[in-house]
Amino acid sequence: MYPNIQLNADGKLKHFLSIEGLNQALLTEILDTAASFVNPSDGQIKKVPLLRGKTIVNLFFENSTRTRTTFELAAKRLSADVLNMNITTSSTAKGESLLDTIRNLEAMFVDMFVVRHAISGAAHFIAQQTAPHISVINAGDGQHAHPTQAMLDMFTIRQHKGDFSKLRVAVIGDILHSRVARSEIQALNTLGVAEVRVIAPKTLLPAKVETLGVTVCHDLKQGLADIDVVMMLRLQKERMTSALLPGESEYFKCFGLTEEKLHYAKPDAIVMHPGPINRGVEIDSKVADGKQSVILQQVSNGIAVRMAIMAMAMQHNGASV
Amino acid sequence: MTAIHIQHGRVIDPANNIDRVGDVYIVDGKIAALFAAPEGFHADTVIDATGNIVCAGFIDISTRLRDMGHSRKATFKSETRAAASAGVTTMCLQPDTRPVMDAASIAEYVKDLAEKAGYPQIYPIGALTQKLEGAELSSMLALKQAGCIAVSNANAPVKNLLILRRAMEYAASHDLLYICRPNEFSLSNKGCAHEGAIATRYGLPSIPEAAETIALAESLELAELTGCRVHFGQLSCKLSVIKIHQAKKYGLNVSADVAIHQLHLTESDMIPFDSAYHVLPPLRTEADKKYLRQGLASGTINSLCSDHQPHDLDAKLGAFPETESGVSSLETLLPLMLRLVAQNDITLEQGITALTQQPAQILGLASGALTVGFSADVCVFDPILEWHINSDTWQSRGLNTPFWGQSMTGRVTHTLQAGKVIFSL
């Protein structure tokens, strides 16, 4: 059982570490709050004073341009002060422990940490160790979770499909190493989709993957039947050299999404990808840039959704949403 | 002459087929008589064991007491005190000490530290290979002469099967027991949790059962080839129990133990990312736990060990995969054994056998029983006394137990080592 340190005594969001333990109502509240930040006429995102005077630290122990940038933009649109710390080149390189880094930043009167780390459980650990007034947002920990990515994807799906209950969603590619996949699957199941299907060779599926609440398929064409949402995952190049796959070309042949293969899904299926894309490895350019692709909308939606999560997590600290 | 009289306890000594209420008489560090005082006996010390159980002191095949290069985690002084309070009178020390137990001088130094801690019955296990690097044989004969009771490569890999074969042949030449914690490193692949639903959900690097069972199968084949006596330590899966059962039936001279926590905890009990549950081999499934319990009841698994691994707080403070593995477990050995009895998985006699007679037999020690003439290693315990694990009751320097804060049933009241009272509640 996941100890739900994410919610405070009133059941309100305090940390955002994983989708696990959050109910449908709360996920829907995040999506609704995010929608309220978007100007309906032009799709622009308003600047609001919700987190004025608050300090948010982007604590990135792993490189990421897009995630860090959208978090930074989201924080600025909430009028917070933002500090970006790229720890791979900073204190831990000097032998400072994770905990010491956190303690030092705490001493600088920080209100929120946005954490990305290469080890599963790191964000959870930081949330347990920080001072009680500080909120922690998980921006990706090891292979465990990337819950803000999952929520911006849910937001994008809702924009296009409305109701979740009839949707069949395929998650394709490297499920084994993907924190995105784990969070997507939890979010989709919490929001009550009809089916989540994972499509991958056995080498890229974790043990007992069906216990995550998915059906399993090893063939892309078969697996795409009746699918409303196609979620592609990034394939790290180093998977080729670790005997998980024979090579890029065979992978692309079997599991790469092309226009031809996309025809097996429903005609109005949307294509998603958390980025960055490996064109010609997991997805063909024609599909990535095609009319069914919503990949760039996912990026735009990241700002409003991350604003919503940050603002909601700071309610206990005086923010009113 | 010193004489100790343990009165009115329920004496359980499976080795001698004894289970009745009565007295134990100890003279000059040895068991002098049971139930009837030897002639001219006059007690210097009387221990009232009314309502309690009197049995041989426990023998623990797998412990780590830290000290030397790890004294920040624990010391011989702190851990032998914990052992005494847990009824453990004999401990084997895994060879991954710092420095590694691969030279006679280190074994002698450890024996010396044990003496100084007032707890002489510590038997070092010698390193199977130099520096535990798995490449060159250690000086096993010298290690044996310096007091090492067996050899093992602890948790470190042996480079290939040819080296393992040679090491086992050489150990067999000197009649040394090889203690093996089976683990195929290429398969365990820096994992930290059982390869199953929980590791999948939390994205933890995982260890399949096959990492254990393949290594086990290899060592069984080599036991046949080399004639080396092999003891398999800390088994964790169902298939391992089946393989040991088959090997014994086939006639191989092998034995096996299980760490007590493996009989009580599974992957589902893990509080996610709580490093107290980070152990190797990892906590497995309900089916594995059930099979391990059955294996103990049927005798396929010979003995119980604590696999005691005390840690300092820092070692367990971090994101789960980055923390050190291991549980501080001497003090939960008895109550967790009694819990198996309470749950009707083993009898009390079987539990005591697995902590006394069986490990003595595996190690070739003349102990683990209350036989007249044996060294008086005795444990007296109250089988129904409830206590809480907290900083007042806990003796080990390592606070790393998943049972912290919980209530336990069964507590040692007296521990005697060679006729000397080393603990009384």
Catalytic residue among B60, B257, B307, B345: B307
What are the chain B neighbours of A1 within 8 Å (beta carbons)? 271
Q: Which residue of B has its CA nearest to A212?
A: B201
Q: Looking at this predicted complex, what is its ipTM?
A: 0.93
Interface contact B200-A122, CB threshold 8 A: no
Chosen from B202, B237, B312 to mutate, greatest number of chain A CBs within 10 A: B202
Q: Where are the beta strands (DSSP E) in B225-336?
A: 230-232, 254-259, 303-305
Question: Quick check: A121 and B272 CB within 8 A?
Answer: yes
Rounded Cα distance, A4 and A128, in Å = 11
Closest to B319 (Cβ–Cβ): which among A3, A125, A209? A125
Predicted pLDDT at A85: 87
Q: Is A124 within 8 Å of B319 when comparing Cβ atoms?
A: yes
- Contact at CB, B271 and A3, closer than 8 angstroms: yes
Quick check: is A116 catalytic? yes
Q: Which of B202, B271, B317 sits opposite A144 (nearest CB)?
A: B202
**Angle at the Cα of A70 from the Cα atoms of A69 and A73, rounded to 5 degrees:** 85
Residues of B in contact with A121 (CB under 8 A): 202, 204, 272-273, 319-321
Please identify which of the residues A15, A54, A77, A116 carries the catalytic annotation.
A116
CA-to-CA distance for B398 and B86, rounded, in angstroms? 14
pLDDT < 70: residue spans in chain A: 1-3, 89-96
Which letter does DSSP use for residue B328 in this model?
Answer: -
Which of B201, B271, B321 is closest, CB to CB, to A212?
B201
Is CATH 3.20.20.140 what the domain over B57-363 is classified as, yes or no?
A: yes
- Say how many CB pairs under 8 Å bridge A and B: 72
Instruction: Return the residue in B237, B277, B320, B323 with the most chain A beta carbons within 10 A, the one to mutate for interface testing.
Output: B320
User: Which residue in B has a C-alpha nearest to residue A98's C-alpha?
Assistant: B318
- Which residues in chain A have their CB less than 8 angstroms from residue B285's CB? none
User: How far away is chain A from the Cα of B29, in angstroms, using its nearest Cα?
Assistant: 51
From the candidates A12, A28, A66, A69, which is the catalytic residue?
Answer: A66
Residue A275: other Cβ atoms inside 10 A: 19
DSSP β-ladder status, B53-56 and B58-63: unpaired
Q: Are residues A124 and B273, on separate chains, in Cβ contact within 8 Å?
A: yes
Cβ atoms B68, B98 nearer than 8 A: yes
| Cα within 13 Å of Cα(A161), Cβ side | 26
Asked if residue B99 has a cis previous peptide bond (ω within 30° of 0), the answer is yes
Domain segments of chain B as ranges: 3-53+375-424, 57-363
Contact B208/A at CB under 8 A: yes
Interface contact flag, B202 A120, Cβ < 8 Å: yes
Would residue A146 show up in a list of annotated catalytic residues for this protein?
A: yes
Q: Do B272 and A212 touch (CB under 8 A)?
A: no
What domains does chain A contain, in order, with CATH numbers? 24-145+300-317 (3.40.50.1370), 147-294 (3.40.50.1370)
Residues in A touching B272 (Cβ below 8 Å)? 2-3, 121, 124
Residues in chain B where the model's pLDDT stays below 50? none
Fold classification of B3-53+375-424 is Urease, subunit C; domain 1 (2.30.40)
Q: How close does chain A come to B324, measured CA to CA in Å?
A: 14
Binding-site residues on chain A for chain B (CB distance < 8 A) = 1-3, 20, 97-99, 117, 119-122, 124-125, 141-145, 179, 182, 206-209, 211-212
* CB contact at 8 A, B424 and B414: yes
Nearest-Cα distance to chain B for A239, in Å, is 15
Tell me if domain B3-53+375-424 and domain B57-363 are identical in fold: no
**What residues have CB less than 8 Å from A51, skipping those under 6 apart?**
A75, A78, A79, A80, A111, A310, A311, A314, A319
**CB B410, CB B383: distance < 8 Å:** yes
Residue A3's pLDDT is: 55
When CB atoms are compared, the residue of A121, A207, A209 closest to B321 is A121
Task: Say what angle helices A66-77 and A147-161 make with each other, to 10 degrees.
Answer: 80
Answer yes or no: do A120 and B321 touch at CB < 8 A. yes
pTM score: 0.94
Q: How close B196 comes to chain A (CA, Å)? A: 5
Question: Can you tell me the distance from the alpha carbon of B332 to that of B249, in angstroms, rounded to the nearest whole number?
Answer: 32
> Do B239 and B215 touch, CB atoms closer than 8 A?
no
